Amino acid sequence: MGWSRASASVVPPTDRFEWFLETVSNEVMPLSLSSDRRDDFHAAIQDMPLGPVALSAFEFSPVRAWRSARHIRQGDPEGYQLVLVTQGSFRVSQEGREALVAGDFVLSDTSSPMLTECFSAGDPIHALTLQIPRSALPLSPRKLEPLLVRPLPAHKGATAILAGFLRTLHAQGAHCGTEALLSMGSATVDLVTACLAQHLHSLDEAPVEARSQLMLQRILRFIEHNLGDPDLSPRTIAERHNISLRTLYTLFDGEPASIAGVIRRRRLERCHTDLARPEMDHRTVQAISARWGFTNPATFSRTFRDAYGTTPTEHRAHARQHRNTDATQQAER
């Protein structure tokens, strides 16, 4: 699912506060809300899944939000929430820290109780919120702890670049397809990491594991964008990223598959998808395999069968039969 928008205007005015509470609790994380504007509440939410992270744009009347240990037991995304307050102010309290934020970022931990007061001079509050799983960031929780619940200025350096990037995503997300939005996830994680690393002194002082993870993510994106190149190999990848083959192999030591295995798996997955797509029916099996970097038809057929337990031709025939069955069932309804 790509960019989506929901507004409290679809429900009666007296139900809009409850709509906002239920929507945030179900789609973001469980929490409680209170507001002096319950009977005249305004709210709108835009969601943009970006692969490993999710960006949401919130517009709402002043509220007081709190997340207790009970809420955390009910549901915890086990990550961080990075909020850019673009209109109004947030007063955030967590683990004995407090920050007043307006026009800047604030980072919080979804696994700890928190109180947030959102207020403005009269206009609705606007905020861009990134939901970031801990597993997606190459920076350890111990390293990030000093940055929690403190204003992160959004007007200079890497943080300003991140703020501009998120504003552009918000403005242009409706014009992007689902695949385009998903492909921006890794870039978003890189920008967030650079931003947080800058506030942890400088990118050069970021932990070794962070730099390794950044390089690994860049290489995975490079592979994804060059699967159709038959010359894609560990050597060409190392040369393009100015690292040695030994360093490249070391980056994949802790991964489920070797770099050659990743290239082969992603090529097979693309072929598997294309062979089942009706709009690709006019392309031969050999043409589809060549489209994703396989140069030898016999090798492709054997590799495909080893991976999926069926030949490319059988897989395509089964997909066609499944589509025809679905079409018949739809026509009979």
**pLDDT of res. 204:** 47
The model's confidence at residue 7, banded by pLDDT at 50, 70 and 90, is confident
User: Is 60 exceeded by the pLDDT of residue 296?
Assistant: yes
Q: Can you give the pTM of this predicted structure?
A: 0.64
**pLDDT of res. 257:** 84
**pLDDT of res. 139:** 82
Strand residue runs (E) in the chain: 4-7, 32-34, 43-50, 53-60, 63-67, 79-87, 89-94, 97-101, 105-109, 114-119, 125-133
The model's confidence at residue 141, banded by pLDDT at 50, 70 and 90, is confident
Query: Which two three-digit tokens encode residue 112?
Result: 């700890």
Query: Mean per-residue pLDDT for 10-30?
Result: 92
User: Is 80 exceeded by the pLDDT of residue 328?
Assistant: no
Q: Are 183 and 51 in contact (CB under 8 A)?
A: yes
Condensed to tens digits (0 to 9), the pLDDT of residues 172-190 reads 888 887 777 877 888 898 8
**pLDDT of res. 181:** 80
Cβ neighbours, 10 Å, residue 19: 19
The model's confidence at residue 126, banded by pLDDT at 50, 70 and 90, is very high
Label residues 176-201 b or e (16+ Cβ within 10 Å = b).
Answer: beeeebbbbbbbbbbbbbbbbbbbbe
Query: Mean per-residue pLDDT for 46-52?
Result: 87
Condensed to tens digits (0 to 9), the pLDDT of residues 205-260 reads 455 666 677 788 788 888 988 999 999 999 999 998 889 999 999 988 877 789 99
User: Is 50 exceeded by the pLDDT of residue 292?
Assistant: yes
Query: Mean per-residue pLDDT for 116-144?
Result: 89
**155: which residues sit within 8 A by CB, 6+ positions away?**
103, 104, 163
What is the average pLDDT score of the chain? 88
Q: Percent of the chain beyond pLDDT 90?
A: 56
The number of residues in the chain equals: 333
Q: Are 328 and 320 in contact (CB under 8 A)?
A: no
Query: Mean per-residue pLDDT for 31-56?
Result: 91
Largest CA distance in the chain: 70
Domains and CATH numbers, the chain: 4-159+182-200 (2.60.120.10), 234-332 (1.10.10.60)
Cα separation, 165 vs 159, whole angstroms: 10
**pLDDT of res. 326:** 67
Query: Mean per-residue pLDDT for 49-66?
Result: 92
Cα separation, 285 vs 297, whole angstroms: 9
**pLDDT of res. 203:** 41
**Cα-to-chain-centroid distance, residue 26:** 18
Q: Percent of the chain beyond pLDDT 70?
A: 93
